Structure 1
Amino acid sequence: MTLTATTPLQVPAEPLHGPLGNREWLLDCHCAGPVVDLLQGQGWDVISDPYANVHCSSPDQRVYVGFLPETEEAARGELWRIEVRNAEGEVAWSQTFGFGVPAQAVAGFLAALIAFPNRYCACV
């Protein structure tokens, strides 16, 4: 089969979305609020410790999200830690985000995971 273009590619003169200047929120929120609000709304357990760290667990206890500003990991640049455990309770995979990543981006990452509660990938 051969694919041919019916119209030439037109690059828009201006980006479809506004410049970064209109999205200051991409640069400034480094608190736990947006993530905590999302997870509490999904029925997750949320616990704050005396050191301002926040620990969140999914209802099935298989996903952990930590906002960890006052830990050794934070000294190495790790503000957020997400861990997903398998049925045996072992960490299957983890993801970290540093201080430069706004909380809304972490919340978006988690919202995408929550949106697919069942196996979605046909290759597995």
Structure 2
Amino acid sequence: MTLTATTPFHIPAALPHAAPGDREWLLDCHCAGPVVELLKARGWEVISDPYANVHCTSPDQRVYVGFLPETKEAASHGELWHIQVKDTDGEVAWTQTFGSNVPAQAVAGFLAALIAFPSRHCACV
């Protein structure tokens, strides 16, 4: 089996930021702010409920993002973030959860990558 890259990968001549030992890694943002800001800026519907949970839906209604600190899943399993993607028939295609220790900026990065690829088809298939 041979793998062929569709886009050449270039190693940067210099790191764009401080060397790994000199930087501060994301460790402490556990609010919904970075995710909500990202999604609102892209036209997603964002609703807060009376229990401090935040529910976000993509403009096409096929992606749901929930910040659910006040649910039994968060309390018992530490699942703070719930992401659900539906196929064109409305069936759940896949889900992803992130625990309460995952910084909100990392969840926002995951969602930004998801949004950046508008086609469901992978070039390697």
TM-score, normalised to structure 2's length?
0.80
Q: Quick check: 1:99 aligned with 2:97?
A: no
In 1, Cα distance between the equivalents of 2:41 and 2:103?
20
Counterpart AA for 2:53: N
In 1, Cα distance between the equivalents of 2:85 and 2:47?
18
Q: Provide runs of 4+ in structure 1 moved above 6 Å.
A: none
Counterpart AA for 1:60: D
Larger radius of gyration: 1
Unpaired stretches in structure 1, ≥5 consecutive residues: 1-15
- More displaced 10-residue stretch of structure 1: 86-95 or 36-45: 86-95
| C-alpha RMSD of the superposition | 1.6
Counterpart AA for 2:58: S
Aligned counterpart, 1:108: 109
Aligned counterpart, 1:62: 62
TM-score, normalised to structure 1's length?
0.81
What does 1:1-124 align with in structure 2 at a 5 Å threshold?
Answer: 17-19=18-20, 22-24=23-25, 26-75=26-75, 76-124=77-125
Unpaired stretches in structure 2, ≥5 consecutive residues: 1-16
Task: Map Cα deviations across residues 29-81 of structure 1 (whole Å, 9 max, x no partner).
Answer: 00000000000000000000000000000000000000000001101210000
